[in-house]
Structure 1
Amino acid sequence: MRIWRPINGRVRWLSLAAVASLVPLLGAAPAMATSSAPHDPVGAYLLTVAPEDDANTDPLRTATLVCGPDGGTHVNPATACEQLRRAAGRVGGVPEEPGPCTREYAPVRVTATGTWNGRKHRYTRTYPNRCTAIRATGGVLFAF
């Protein structure tokens, strides 16, 4: 699978393998935490929000999320990890966050690739716009 991002008005393709190569770096995040317990994280995900067509001018967005201890580059790791804990690490199990979104059609594909309690997980869905994607996945996971 390939994801793309606009660069200088042109679309450039990035392989998912290139983006996924960032996943091993997630193991370094817990070392920065204040916890003194030497254990592996409960979960680690690479999250992406990618525009699906040329009309969508939103940039490609990525974040790392490490849970147990909570961290990574995600802007709200504690809340995102709590949502995943309640859903046993399944992004599709996180309840929708109700609220309004515009009817703008600027499709985005969200992807979460990683592990939870040693099991691999992958979630990929396309939504009509970024707001809908964020709300449909709990309001926090892809809000970066």
Structure 2
Amino acid sequence: MPNTARWAATITLTATAVCGPLTGTALATPSPTSLYAPSSLVFTVGHGEIAAEATPERAATLSCAPTASGTHPAAASACGELRAAGGDLDALPARPDVLCTREYDPVVVTADGVWQGKRVSYERTFSNECVKNSYGMTVFTF
């Protein structure tokens, strides 16, 4: 059942992030936003070792084209970090100035959506919340 709830939440948030900007009045002229490949992600975080067993505790949407938007608290900064990493969430560097305990309280982060028109499905388990927050400056802090 928790896995079903996770997928339902992910699909709903993805649909809102991707289709939300499409609502409104149709225009006869092309919109400037049509020149950009879509870059919209839905992030979830929960406690556990794998996403299938972890109930999402928080979720955030992030849209980066043509401008940064979504429910992510630092959308502009997170989009900048993702652009610098080429959209590769594994390439986000750990900040050397952050010291974390060695406590093992696994936190799993997922990201689903599209980055510059390419499908993204990401899952990563961190040993604790501090370690998760140490990767990148703002992408995983929601």
Give TM-score, length-normalised by structure 2.
0.76
Alignment partner of 2:8 out of 6, 18, 22:
18
SS of the equivalent of 1:45 reads: strand
Aligned to 1:103: 102
Q: Report runs of 4+ in structure 1 exceeding 6 Å deviation.
A: none
Matches within 5 A, 1:37-116: 37-39=32-34, 42-52=38-48, 60-68=57-65, 69-98=67-96, 99-116=98-115
Amino acid of the structure 1 residue aligned with 2:7: A
Q: CA deviation at 1:30?
A: 8.5
Contact kept? 2:37, 2:117, Cα under 8 Å: no
Percent of pairs identical after alignment? 36
Listed one character per residue, the Cα deviations across residues 46-89 of structure 1 (whole Å, up to 9, x for unaligned) are 11111017xxxxx7111111102101000000110001111111
Alpha-carbon separation, structure 2, partners of 1:139 and 1:49: 16
Alpha-carbon separation, structure 1, partners of 2:118 and 2:85: 14
Contact kept? 1:30, 1:66, Cα under 8 Å: no
Aligned length: 124
Gaps of 5+ in 2: 24-30, 50-55
Contact kept? 1:64, 1:73, Cα under 8 Å: yes
SS of the equivalent of 1:38 reads: helix
Alpha-carbon RMSD across the aligned residues, in angstroms, is 2.4
Give TM-score, length-normalised by structure 1.
0.75
Gaps of 5+ in 1: 1-11, 54-58
SS of the equivalent of 2:9 reads: helix
User: Which structure carries more helix by proportion?
Assistant: 2
SS of the equivalent of 2:79 reads: helix
Amino acid of the structure 2 residue aligned with 1:26: A
